[in-house]
Amino acid sequence: MPDQISNKISSKISIIVPCYNEQESIPYFYKEICNIFKQMPDVVLETIFVDDGSKDHTLEIIKEISDRDNRFKYISFSRNFGKEAALYAGLSESTGDFIGVMDVDLQDPPGLIKDMYIALKTGEYDCVATRRVDRKNEPPIRSFFARIFYKLINKISNTNIVDGARDFRLMTRQMVDAILSVSEYNRFSKGIFSWVGFKTKWIEFENQDRIAGKTKWSFWKLFLYSIDGIVAFSTVPLAISSIFGILFCLISFILILFIIIKTLVFGDPVSGWPSTACIIFLVGGLQLFCTGILGQYLSKTYLETKKRPIYIIKSKSK
């Protein structure tokens, strides 16, 4: 398949761009993409803006662009379904031989698309992905927790999730079809990109600031997203309750022996209720913690079994 593509005279590249309240960034993005593709005359461009239920003028702007430039299409959701759903929708609608994913805020340098395309054309790779080498201008506390998250998930999951990896990448049609076949409702794309396999080349770049607008990710949202990632790609937390259970059985067995012997030797004075209360708190807390972990997996399973659509389209370009 890669050989077939590399022998073609012109290739079609689809670029998927999720947009949520991005009215300020879109005009800059449009200009940049047009510039880049001017330098790639052998490529047919298809850009798909996915309006993820924006509340500002995002939809009007992408409609207007798509009316005057037929290389730009759009899909608009009936409400905000989240970036993961927007990516899935864009990939489903794409028709290119190579499919790219990038943010609209120009934090993903569009100039790299050319390098990615050249690397894919050799047929040696199925995907060219990007990694930030630094976390410049990010709050230190966020970087700290991000590092812990990547260390943890890579220890407890068989899927390798690269620290600093962006969603910004260019993939072959074959790889995108594989990603689309993973149609789970709780989507953690960073994991899915890695889970489907294929050969990936990594390009590194320095963190860029947003061209306009604000990030949509608060610390709390990122925290919940990281829990989603762990639940989606590891079942190790489920084993935690069993480990605690075994440990506590062992401790209580030793304690029971100790108490029996102590009572036989020294009698049974009524004392020690504070330590008893502490133990009840500890065990109670641990039980709730473990039930909470079970609850996380159960809630995800519950949502998957409902088989709700990942997104709902309200309107799209012709």
List of residues contacting Mg ion (CB under 5 A): 103, 105, 107
The listed partner (ligand UDP, Mg ion, none) that binds 52, CB under 5 to 8 Å by sort, is: ligand UDP
Closer to ligand UDP by Cβ: residue 50 or 231: 50
What is the rounded distance in angstroms from the CA atom of residue 167 to the CA atom of residue 194? 11
What is the rounded distance in angstroms from the CA atom of residue 61 to the CA atom of residue 136? 31
Residue 36 to residues 6, 9, 32, 97, 171, Cα–Cα distance (Å): 20, 19, 6, 18, 18
Query: CA quadruple 252, 256, 259, 261: dihedral positive or negative?
Result: negative
Asked if 61 and 27 count as a contact pair (C-beta separation under 8 A), the reply is yes
Q: Give me the least distance between CB of 44 and ligand UDP, in Å please.
A: 23
Is 18 a binding residue for ligand UDP by CB under 6 A? The answer is: yes
Closer to ligand UDP by Cβ: residue 53 or 290: 53
Q: Give me the least distance between CB of 139 and Mg ion, in Å please.
A: 15
Beta strands 200-205 and 43-51, pairing class = unpaired
What is the rounded distance in angstroms from the CA atom of residue 85 to the CA atom of residue 184? 10
By rule CB under 6 A, what string of x and - marks binding of each residue 222-261 to ligand UDP?
----------------------------------------
The listed partner (Mg ion, ligand UDP, none) that binds 86, CB under 5 to 8 Å by sort, is: ligand UDP
Q: Which of 13, 14, 16, 22 binds ligand UDP (CB under 6 A)?
A: 22
* Footprint of ligand UDP on 27-56 (CB under 6 A): 52
The listed partner (ligand UDP, Mg ion, none) that binds 104, CB under 5 to 8 Å by sort, is: ligand UDP
Is 217 a binding residue for ligand UDP by CB under 6 A? The answer is: yes
Closer to ligand UDP by Cβ: residue 105 or 126: 105
Give the list of residues 6+ apart from residue 8 with CB closer than 8 angstroms, or none. 97
Q: How many residues does the chain have?
A: 318
C-alpha dihedral, 196 to 144 to 164 to 194, nearest 10°: -10
> What residues line the site for ligand UDP (CB under 6 A)?
18-20, 22, 52, 80, 82-83, 86, 103-105, 107, 215-217
